[in-house]
Chains A and B, each alone.
Chain A
């Protein structure tokens, strides 16, 4: 089986996974206590209005009929109306997803660059003070959730030592001209370097706070993987042939050692979406995670389902990309996968 067939099969299975996910979230969202129509219209709304909204949302129908109706509409590109924003959910997703994508992408980049670099550094100076210091920092990164770093960064870099902007995506309201929805990319496309720089400065604190946990994990995994591989025969062979330590580390050891980190990154990417909620809240970042949690608190059924499916889709795609990257890094995995299937 070729790599392409392997990827196509993975994608086909992903469709089933997303279908299952839609079914689970659809049922779960309807089990949570509370009447979504009443919550949307407020406690004082007349009962007739609440009943009418229930009817519009098909909540007066049996659950299988509700799901069938939703699925049919979803397959035709209609994810329903959000009860919080009173807009089509698809419009909301298009509006909020790019902000989170931009945040998560930079966080992932920071995780990869800083996490792997620190892991390599730690392995190179194994059991020396550099290694100990990095391991200690990694512990701190792992035990503290992203929102703790967000609050800390806000207090240090915005409140006490105000060198970063506090909230939002840009300083001047209305300076975002939407093309892709990614503030930095849109600014670059327009050749507007001032807005690009401004958008990047707004991104740094939330993205770094979000990346802290993953960076620490990647640093630890890269380190332990490299330290493990250091005991392999081929390393002993290279050492016996007189190659210096740095050549061994970067030429022969780094590539196989980062494979677990890259695999982890696939999972991390989806986790970043979940962790982004409090970070988005603290930095008033108009992203999908914040939208999703607001939807859950208001029992906005359509929005909840759509957000979970979107994150599921991102998760699936991230894992497919991860598989491809890992296969590129290690031909044994690619060939092994082909032989197995």
Chain B
């Protein structure tokens, strides 16, 4: 009896230890690790072995896997962030397509006419284009898509609300947009109007708030697509991934090496991304990785790191309604103390000092403006002209950096150290993003200075000018200047209402020069989008263009356009 009891006790302990050992050995499943060996692997094997086939797709299907900050909102009336845009450009077609050189080319529209007053845009649609369910794309679908977006007022609706007066379909293949007032960059913004299958959406209505349109198909479109794009939804798993497969009948066809599908993983967790890249279980890494990960990617066999210009610009936004940043000479002095060279070479590698108030990557940028440069003597001269000369110790500057972006603390501390050289006292303050957004809503709560990156909504200088410098944007985090300068407003409005591209760009240049004279805020550097990809077996068109020395403007989401990716 005693022996039995002793054995029972030993069994308990033994079983537990055996369980630990088994767990540690990973159950030693045969073949579990063949595809996961680190180090160089022949391209053909990698392309096959690294791919876990999606359900229902042929074995060895080539799926491009890439990470983004979150799982996308795949309803074109709702999604507008980077992840959503990456999904939408592949699931839906738009009338026009933004090219990497900043121009737009026809997509669903084959040609268009603009009335002489710039108020009427008429598009002719490509014939024979099919939605994923086989129905033909008509002008009625375009009208429905625009009306849906304007009614829901979400996603990219802000690009069209207040600008589009009406949209009509004179016949099956003609769409006409009537604008409230001329808007020069209307064509590039139309790349954000993703065309929905009206009949399919209307067949999936659920109770909602939009009258006879009920929920406008929102619930159904959160997990399904109604598009005509080159890829279609296979599986949408919230908080995990979107899996899409090729739409075989896509009107534009596919190149032989184009992927069979893509998997958008909604997580940028650095350890996970680094591990997956090393195992070749991830093909393109996101832009949100810490610097050490990019350095690690660059050392991985077959992986390359690329820097894309996106039109984003880092500013030290200054509040012109508060002392001492209300003084133009003080603001200019603060800009002169910043050590742009060290920042862009050492602290934020691959960035470039700002040249004027908008990104040099954006069409319409004025290249004649000088690049930002440290000049302590100029800073002292400006301070001497400032109304705060001689009493700088009484006016310390509160410089806020966004808590969720730890790298920006380095920027703030660098400015603090350099400002001290000319007698400006800077208090570095860490503030959560939600608090910054809240503070920016009133001039009295807006920080004296705040590090902020502003992205263009469309690929032209006017996008940044409107967002960061027009007085209608004050109260939002993009424009914390509170300058409300009627002259700048007029220059920006005149520019964006000019339909002729060349004339519009000339007017953008005038506005940029005047902004630099009035200097409401401090442009610091161009922030590129860093990405790593498996160059050993993938050819990524924008990366190839950059290697060939051609400029690439990465419009949000379009870097991940799968028809521009090919397996070698």
User: Hey, which bits of chain A sit against chain B, CB under 8 A?
Assistant: 32-35, 38-39, 41-46, 48-49, 52, 56, 84-87, 92, 95-96, 110, 113-114, 117-118, 120-121, 150-151, 154-155, 157-159, 162-168, 171-175, 197, 200-201, 204, 208, 243-244, 246-247, 249-251, 254, 281-284, 286, 290-291, 294, 299
Q: Are A172 and B52 in contact (CB under 8 A)?
A: yes
Asked, given contacts A43-B478, A155-B271, whether A168 binds B238 with beta carbons under 8 Å apart, the answer is no
Q: Are B265 and A174 in contact (CB under 8 A)?
A: no
Other A-B pairs beyond A159-B274, A208-B23, A243-B2, 12, CB < 8 Å:
A34-B438, A41-B154, A49-B152, A52-B153, A86-B73, A121-B13, A167-B276, A168-B241, A174-B243, A201-B27, A246-B2, A290-B239
Asked, given contacts A35-B438, A247-B5, A282-B272, whether A87 binds B238 with beta carbons under 8 Å apart, the answer is yes
Which residues B3-43 have CB closer than 8 A to chain A?
Answer: 5-6, 8-10, 12-13, 15-17, 19-20, 23, 25-29, 32-33, 36-38
Which residues B214-255 have CB closer than 8 A to chain A?
Answer: 218-219, 222, 234-235, 237-241, 243
Q: Are A48 and B153 in contact (CB under 8 A)?
A: yes
Any A CB within 8 A of the CB of B81: yes
Q: Once the chains are docked, how many angstroms separate the CA of A328 from the CA of B155?
A: 57
Asked, given contacts A87-B222, A167-B272, A173-B52, whether A281 binds B267 with beta carbons under 8 Å apart, the answer is yes
Q: Once the chains are docked, how many angstroms separate the CA of A289 from the CA of B53?
A: 28
Q: Are B32 and A281 in contact (CB under 8 A)?
A: no
Give chain B's interface residue range (CB within 8 Å of chain A): 35 or more
Any A CB within 8 A of the CB of B88: no
Q: Are A120 and B13 in contact (CB under 8 A)?
A: yes
Q: Are B158 and A44 in contact (CB under 8 A)?
A: yes
- Enumerate the 4 nearest inter-chain pairs by beta-carbon distance, A residue then B residue, closest first: A174-B55, A34-B434, A49-B153, A117-B16
Q: Are B16 and A113 in contact (CB under 8 A)?
A: yes
Any A CB within 8 A of the CB of B373: no
Q: Are B281 and A166 in contact (CB under 8 A)?
A: yes
Asked, given contacts A41-B154, A87-B219, A291-B239, whether A113 binds B19 with beta carbons under 8 Å apart, the answer is yes
Q: In the complex, what residues of B have CB within 8 A of residue A84's CB?
A: 70
Q: Are B26 and A163 in contact (CB under 8 A)?
A: yes
Asked, given contacts A87-B219, A162-B36, whether A168 binds B5 with beta carbons under 8 Å apart, the answer is no
Main secondary structure, interface of A, reads helix
Q: Are A251 and B5 in contact (CB under 8 A)?
A: yes
Q: Once the chains are docked, how many angstroms separate the CA of A39 from the CA of B438?
A: 11
- From A287, which residue of chain B is reached at the shortest CB distance? B239
Q: In the complex, how many angstroms separate the beta carbon of A284 from the nearest chain B beta carbon?
A: 5
Q: In the complex, how many angstroms separate the beta carbon of A54 from the nearest chain B beta carbon?
A: 13
Q: In the complex, what residues of B have CB within 8 A of residue A294's CB?
A: 70, 239
Asked, given contacts A56-B209, A163-B26, whether A286 binds B6 with beta carbons under 8 Å apart, the answer is no
Any A CB within 8 A of the CB of B457: yes
- From A118, which residue of chain B is reached at the shortest CB distance? B16
Q: In the complex, what residues of B have CB within 8 A of residue A197's CB?
A: 27, 29
Which residues B48-95 have CB closer than 8 A to chain A?
Answer: 52-56, 70, 73, 75, 78, 80-81
Q: Are A45 and B158 in contact (CB under 8 A)?
A: yes
Q: In the complex, how many angstroms separate the beta carbon of A195 from the nearest chain B beta carbon?
A: 11
Q: Once the chains are docked, how many angstroms separate the CA of A247 from the CA of B10?
A: 11
Any A CB within 8 A of the CB of B275: yes
Q: In the complex, what residues of B have CB within 8 A of residue A45's CB?
A: 153-154, 157-158
Any A CB within 8 A of the CB of B130: no
Q: In the complex, how many angstroms separate the beta carbon of A25 from the nearest chain B beta carbon?
A: 18
Q: In the complex, how many angstroms separate the beta carbon of B241 from the nearest chain A beta carbon?
A: 7
Q: Are A246 and B6 in contact (CB under 8 A)?
A: yes
Asked, given contacts A44-B457, A86-B78, A173-B55, whether A166 binds B2 with beta carbons under 8 Å apart, the answer is no
Any A CB within 8 A of the CB of B365: no
Cβ-defined partner of A250 (8 Å) among B8, B52, B153, B279: B8
Q: In the complex, how many angstroms separate the beta carbon of A162 from the nearest chain B beta carbon?
A: 4
Q: In the complex, what residues of B have CB within 8 A of residue A243's CB?
A: 2
Q: Once the chains are docked, how many angstroms separate the CA of A166 from the CA of B26?
A: 12
Q: Are A114 and B158 in contact (CB under 8 A)?
A: no
Q: In the complex, how many angstroms separate the beta carbon of A173 from the nearest chain B beta carbon?
A: 5
Q: In the complex, what residues of A have CB within 8 A of residue B272's CB?
A: 154, 166-167, 281-284
Q: Once the chains are docked, how many angstroms separate the CA of A150 from the CA of B269?
A: 12
List 11 interface pairs A-B (beta carbons < 8 Å), by A numbering.
Answer: A44-B80, A45-B154, A52-B153, A113-B15, A155-B271, A159-B275, A173-B241, A204-B23, A204-B26, A250-B9, A281-B269
Interface centre among A46, A173, A204 (most CB of B within 10 A): A173
Q: In the complex, what residues of A have CB within 8 A of residue B5's CB?
A: 246-247, 250-251
Interface string of B481-524 (1 = CB under 8 A from A): 00000000000000000000000000000000000000000000
Q: Are B279 and A33 in contact (CB under 8 A)?
A: no
Q: Are B9 and A249 in contact (CB under 8 A)?
A: yes
Q: Once the chains are docked, how many angstroms separate the CA of A155 from the CA of B275?
A: 7
Any A CB within 8 A of the CB of B477: yes
Q: In the complex, how many angstroms separate the beta carbon of B70 from the nearest chain A beta carbon?
A: 8
- From A204, which residue of chain B is reached at the shortest CB distance? B23
Q: Are A175 and B239 in contact (CB under 8 A)?
A: no
Which residues B257-311 have CB closer than 8 A to chain A?
Answer: 263, 265, 267, 269, 271-272, 274-276, 278-279, 281
Asked, given contacts A45-B153, A243-B2, A284-B267, whether A95 binds B19 with beta carbons under 8 Å apart, the answer is no
Q: In the complex, what residues of A have CB within 8 A of residue B271's CB?
A: 150-151, 154-155, 282
Q: In the complex, what residues of A have CB within 8 A of residue B153's CB?
A: 45-46, 48-49, 52
Q: Are B275 and A154 in contact (CB under 8 A)?
A: yes
Q: In the complex, how many angstroms separate the beta carbon of B162 from the nearest chain A beta carbon?
A: 8
Q: In the complex, what residues of A have CB within 8 A of residue B27's CB?
A: 197, 200-201, 204
Interface centre among B16, B19, B241 (most CB of A within 10 A): B16
Q: Are B56 and A43 in contact (CB under 8 A)?
A: no
Q: Are A49 and B154 in contact (CB under 8 A)?
A: yes
Q: Are B17 and A117 in contact (CB under 8 A)?
A: yes
Q: In the complex, what residues of A have CB within 8 A of residue B467's CB?
A: 44
Q: Are A299 and B29 in contact (CB under 8 A)?
A: no
